[in-house]
Amino acid sequence: MDDDERDESNAPNQADNAKPTDMSAHLATGVPGAQPPLEQNGADERNRDRTAAGLHAIYETALFGFRDMGVKRSFQTLLKINQKDGFDCPSCAWPDPDDHRKIAEFCENGVKAVSSEATRKRLTPEVFQRYSIPEMLSHPDVWYEELGRITHPMIRRQGSDHYQPISWEDAFGLIGHELRSLDSPDQASFYTSGRASNEAAFMYGLLARQFGTNNLPDCSNMCHESSGAGLNPVIGIGKATVKIEDFAEADAIFVIGQNPGTCHPRMLTELQKAARNGCKIVSINPLKETGLIQFKNPQEPLRMLGPATKLASLFLPVRVNGDIAVLKGIMKEMLEEDQRTNGNVLAHDFLEHNTEGFEEFAQDIGNTAWEEIVSNGGVSRALIGDATDL
Ligand code: SF4
């Protein structure tokens, strides 16, 4: 296999059997006859994996890399991901070590993301000619992904149900004309995807600010805005306050509402270091995620032949939206234990000199009944007690 252009004839041919029928979709998309994609296949039921990563991760890495990028480009690209002289993985926001970077400083998800960015497949104007917009809309997102990278700027003209090619000059001319015709730069919104590379997003940000606006929403706003808005008033900063190195030094780690095996697979390496150092890991999650049960590190080929590393030692199967109740339960146990031990649990000096509103807060916790905590949280008092002990 080699890494030259692939013609568009390999594009999947599912459109022929799509039957667009419903007007509400037309109103939603403004495209006549557009129909949300029908679920072709039922749910895929099979026994769950009990171990995260391992040989399977290496298999998936090779499969996606060689299939989409070819052998040569796979090695060229994968040796550059998250390297100091390389580029940042566009998939998730897991940080890179400040000092030593491993030769394969990536995970299976990173490879899947980069493979679709660096795919040899090309979405050319001929493909847009083949499929009308309603036909395209009748397909699931993964269908677009498999069409490859767009090679030319495309435009949808008034009344047309096909995208048509437009020259770069005309495209920029049109965008420039629209922007200049605005009464204020703040009438423009420069949206971008969190999948855009850091480098491209930085240049795009410069463009928006040069134009005179800060309207730069991107999809990660959806993920991070709420946590930033919550953290800021409580601890005074809307971002993480720890470094990667802190994981291995921790005595206890609580992973709440997060599945590192899917969201940030390289986090499993840090959790493994922590677990090997005797750290107690608690998972508060409706699901007992494979990524928190046990892990085989693909960066340790020989140790992969042996037993996997057990990660979380305690699972709290919280009810969806039950997090606040469970956290209140843990704090109620801590407050009660602090009272039982004449103030031997809470950091009273820190509370007194660095916080405000503790009395009202403690009163609210005190007034919250255990029945309410257990029913809203979906977790037994015994399990809440175990988590509090840790
Ligand atoms: S953890 Fe994986 S997906 Fe996330 S940035 Fe690192 S390599 Fe990419």
Cα distance between residue 329 and residue 221, in whole Å: 30
Cα 95 to ligand 1 centroid, rounded to whole Å: 8
Cα distance between residue 346 and residue 337, in whole Å: 9
Ligand 1, atom 8, lies closest to the CA of: 110
Cα distance between residue 88 and residue 195, in whole Å: 11
The single-letter DSSP state of residue 66 is H
pLDDT the model gives residue 98: 84
What CATH class has 246-316?
alpha beta
Cα 297 to ligand 1 centroid, rounded to whole Å: 14
Q: Which residues, other chains included, contact 121 with Cβ-Cβ below 8 Å and sequence gap of 6+?
A: 6, 10, 11, 68, 146, 147, 148, 149
Pocket test for ligand 1, best of 64, 79, 92, 258 (most atoms within 8 A of CB): 92
What one-character-per-residue DSSP string does 300-352 give?
Answer: -TTGGGSPPEE-EEEEE-PPTT-HHHHHHHHHHHHHHHHHHTTS-SS-HHHHH
Q: Hey, what's the torsion of the CAs at 320, 266, 197, 165, to 10 degrees?
A: -70
Positions in the chain short of pLDDT 70: 1-41
pLDDT the model gives residue 223: 77
Cα 276 to ligand 1 centroid, rounded to whole Å: 22
Cα 202 to ligand 1 centroid, rounded to whole Å: 19
Helices in the chain by DSSP H: which ranges? 23-29, 55-78, 108-117, 125-130, 133-137, 141-145, 168-180, 198-211, 219-235, 244-249, 260-263, 267-276, 290-293, 323-340, 348-354, 358-367, 370-377, 381-389
Helix (H, G, I), strand (E, B) or coil at 362: helix
Cα 266 to ligand 1 centroid, rounded to whole Å: 6
pLDDT the model gives residue 6: 40
Cα distance between residue 360 and residue 373, in whole Å: 18
CA-to-CA separations, 287 to 45, 116, 268, 274, in angstroms, rounded = 16, 29, 17, 22
| Atom from ligand 1 closest to the CA of residue 264 | 1
pLDDT the model gives residue 126: 95
Pocket of ligand 1 from Cβ distances under 6 Å = 89, 91-92, 94, 106-107, 109-110, 264-266
| Atom from ligand 1 closest to the CA of residue 108 | 2
pLDDT the model gives residue 43: 73
| Atom from ligand 1 closest to the CA of residue 93 | 5
pLDDT the model gives residue 164: 96
Cα 366 to ligand 1 centroid, rounded to whole Å: 42
Ligand 1, atom 4, lies closest to the CA of: 92
Name the residue with tokens 């046990």. 294
Ligand 1, atom 3, lies closest to the CA of: 110
The single-letter DSSP state of residue 218 is B
| Atom from ligand 1 closest to the CA of residue 96 | 6
For residue 325, the cross-strand partners are none
pLDDT the model gives residue 28: 46
Name the residue with tokens 């006549």. 32
pLDDT the model gives residue 323: 96
Q: How many CA atoms lie within 13 A of 69 on its CB side?
A: 21
Each domain of the chain, given as residue ranges in start order, spans 182-237, 246-316, 323-389
Q: Which residues, other chains included, contact 78 with Cβ-Cβ below 8 Å and sequence gap of 6+?
A: 61, 65, 104, 106, 111, 114
Its pTM stands at: 0.80
Cα 294 to ligand 1 centroid, rounded to whole Å: 19
How many CB atoms are located within 10 Å of the residue 109 CB? Answer: 22
Pocket test for ligand 1, best of 61, 96, 117, 266 (most atoms within 8 A of CB): 266
For 175-197, what is each residue's pLDDT tens digit? 999 999 999 999 999 988 777 88
Cα 316 to ligand 1 centroid, rounded to whole Å: 26
pLDDT the model gives residue 99: 83
Helix (H, G, I), strand (E, B) or coil at 24: helix
Q: Hey, what's the torsion of the CAs at 127, 130, 132, 134, to 10 degrees?
A: -90
Q: Which two tokens stand for residue 60?
A: 């998936």
Cα distance between residue 38 and residue 354, in whole Å: 55
